[in-house]
Structure 1
């Protein structure tokens, strides 16, 4: 069933960004209806030549609200319903960060990953006023250690609150802590979601991570490519820092994921049997993927010219993104989605980027640069789980759908994390 965002607003009163032209789909996989936006990244308005569109905005929304309230399992017991929503322990199990057991069933497994070092920074727009309390609640529920989180205002003053970005912030912060629990986390909040403000926040995050001795920066946002985006690429060339960006949740590609200095993280669907046992991963059909229209092929992809020609191809890696197999997120103050607040099920490549950034931090390799990390990934592709079946991307147009295959492909890159070795 499909309806316009405006019609959905009339039915359910308060839904994110009523002005969006995004359509919505009903998913019944979580014991009731989940109303989800088809895209968790709303593309910016069309760019004017020469980037006069500096004021255009990135927006990322990734909230999926069950019609029937559900909560994560407690350390002592599983929930009474068969909702297989991913937990820190189940994701650690699937990606081999802890020994696999009990089918990696999120209602059963309880072993969280330990580790993490130095720092991870997250760049988002606007403010989540209760993020420290929400992260503490998330950590307590899943048996994680107390977090070390600093919130930094890139402009020097607290930004306004925006409900869609608030959920994005909770997702990013909570899942970095879930998979790199010993790492310092910097949340750098941009004043708005404009280019100027977001890249000011990127620069601030880079300074913080450099001062911490190196680490990772997660960017769960993106927008249409534009001819002069190459002028922004040097912002991602900082010694000791690796940048990770979501590839997007609509067919095609987005910047900054297409920057050759950024690790582009695509999305997967987690497949389970009726009992909740993990079977495998396939590409999330909505994940952004394809060749860049602006960036030329980097050296680390030189062996892929038969697939991507002379352009930068994304994704490089992938992780869970499908909202139907989404992750738990806690947001105590959000009231946009039918006055929903508390525990939510969230998806999109918004989830994949911080998850891979955190796993990379936990691996402890700390590359000399983003380019160094990407060269390492491509030269060690055998250390990742290769996704060989499924499709993603456009169903019509010049390229058609992209097919997963043996080795690198547009949908999932070299694959998904398999322990810490490849990262």
Structure 2
């Protein structure tokens, strides 16, 4: 099982997926180990081989005797991605950047196994380690966890946008300063159209200097119209601190208003066809959607209408399936297992952005203002599933309940991707950025 440990980052790595970059001229910040959303104890819980041989059906996709799991075909059907793929909207001409750590020595082979099993086109993957690497130690649980995280992220971004290029940018370690350095490198070199960050840490772990450095990187991304997505975490209204304990609060980097924070749901779909049957906010024995209100960032303008009675930025903004009772399958360390948590959900949203960028012939840039404008319009019910049941209470921390419109469990909800991309394509915002991505 890829046990997504609610995105515990370290001080400088901040909650919910962000590879923080440390600029050469920036003042030093404290450095701590960052934890991937898959968790430092992530291992592969073998779900077996496809049955019968040659078909992409695993035991958890057959019958009703175990928690459901889904492959690319089912997820694409459930969220109406396949409609776009059939129209040739595959992310072609776009690049998805994923931030990781260590070497990820099995990522390419795991991705190849994933693609072969599901009949996906070979991915156009390029791995970059701007600050160098250390020798991979397969007995080191932290390095193994990051290898699993990288595999999940690359595979599920590719599953949603099979025509997009993928750039995996690796920090030399899990230290937050190294993660920040990798993120800054990706932004400064304009490596892609969207950056996916599947990690995070409690805001209380970091100081003002670090948040200023992180926000400066994100502002540069905004200027270049690079979309930022990050996991909101997998422990509900609490997040991991730099020592691994839980504390009430939200996760950064997802808490930055320039980032689209991705929460989780329990997806219910036909195990074979993927036909959408419904969703509830994620909160069960396997984890809970990270959500709540920032103590660092004030309520942004785009949330003022829908987030009432709060002074801090609300998380998450959107969601996708994350529960163990409706997980996706990923290949990692040579085997197949369930991906539980907001890691895959975040990578999938990065894939959605790549589809929208291709369809609209320009970069979306900062996504949040558009999403909240949609949610305040008559189009809301056509492009987003408003999840109105479930809660994210977790491990004794009282969470929120999902409800109409925005909530601190699933945000604005989950997408009907074809409808969302169609609406975004018709938007007059954005400039044509097709030729600005570095290769």
TM range (shorter): 0.7 to 0.9
CA distance in 1 between counterparts of 2:106 and 2:271 reads 37
In the alignment, does 2:236 pair up with 1:240? no
The corresponding residue for 1:391 is: 391
Let me know the Cα RMSD of the aligned residues: 3.0
CA distance in 1 between counterparts of 2:82 and 2:167 reads 26
* Among candidates 41, 46, 58, match of residue 34 of structure 2: 58
* Among candidates 149, 159, 170, match of residue 178 of structure 1: 159
List alignment gaps of at least 5 residues for structure 2.
Answer: 14-26, 138-142, 238-249, 422-439
CA distance in 2 between counterparts of 1:163 and 1:73 reads 30
Residues 247-396 of structure 1: pairs in structure 2 closer than 5 A: 247-252=232-237, 253-272=250-269, 278-285=276-283, 286-307=288-309, 309-331=310-332, 334=333, 341-364=334-357, 365=360, 366-367=362-363, 369-370=365-366, 373-381=367-375, 382=380, 383-394=383-394
Tell me if the contact between 2:307 and 2:406 (Cα under 8 Å) persists in the aligned partners: no
Give secondary structure in 2 for the equivalent of 1:358.
Answer: helix
Tell me if the contact between 1:392 and 1:411 (Cα under 8 Å) persists in the aligned partners: yes
CA distance in 2 between counterparts of 1:113 and 1:412 reads 30
The corresponding residue for 2:172 is: 191
Measure how far apart 1:64 and its partner are: 6.4
CA distance in 1 between counterparts of 2:368 and 2:217 reads 16
The corresponding residue for 2:244 is: none
Give secondary structure in 2 for the equivalent of 1:248.
Answer: coil
Greater relative contact order (Cα 8 A, min sep 6): structure 1 or 2?
2
The corresponding residue for 1:136 is: 112
CA distance in 2 between counterparts of 1:111 and 1:328 reads 23
CA distance in 1 between counterparts of 2:44 and 2:35 reads 19
* Among candidates 184, 187, 203, match of residue 203 of structure 1: 184
CA distance in 2 between counterparts of 1:73 and 1:298 reads 51
Tell me if the contact between 1:289 and 1:393 (Cα under 8 Å) persists in the aligned partners: no
Residues 44-123 of structure 1: pairs in structure 2 closer than 5 A: 44=10, 54-60=30-36, 61=38, 63=42, 65-66=44-45, 69-71=48-50, 76=55, 78-79=57-58, 81-82=62-63, 84-98=68-82, 115-116=90-91, 117-123=93-99
With the length of structure 2 as denominator, give the TM-score of the two structures: 0.74
Out of 129-138 and 196-205, give the one that drifted further.
129-138
Measure how far apart 1:75 and its partner are: 6.2
CA distance in 2 between counterparts of 1:149 and 1:68 reads 26
The corresponding residue for 1:422 is: 420
Q: 1:53 to 1:234 in 2, by over 3 A?
A: closer
CA distance in 1 between counterparts of 2:341 and 2:365 reads 26
CA distance in 2 between counterparts of 1:416 and 1:186 reads 25
Give secondary structure in 2 for the equivalent of 1:145.
Answer: coil
In the alignment, does 2:128 pair up with 1:126? no
Residues 148-159 of structure 1: pairs in structure 2 closer than 5 A: 148-157=124-133
List alignment gaps of at least 5 residues for structure 1.
Answer: 1-33, 101-109, 335-340
CA distance in 1 between counterparts of 2:126 and 2:277 reads 38
- The C-alpha deviation readout for 1:275-312, integer Å capped at 9, x for no partner, is 886421111111110001111111111113524x1110
Measure how far apart 1:254 and its partner are: 0.6
CA distance in 2 between counterparts of 1:146 and 1:75 reads 18
Measure how far apart 1:41 and its partner are: 2.4
Q: 1:113 to 1:42 in 2, by over 3 A?
A: farther
Tell me if the contact between 2:195 and 2:227 (Cα under 8 Å) persists in the aligned partners: yes
With the length of structure 1 as denominator, give the TM-score of the two structures: 0.77
Tell me if the contact between 2:48 and 2:58 (Cα under 8 Å) persists in the aligned partners: no
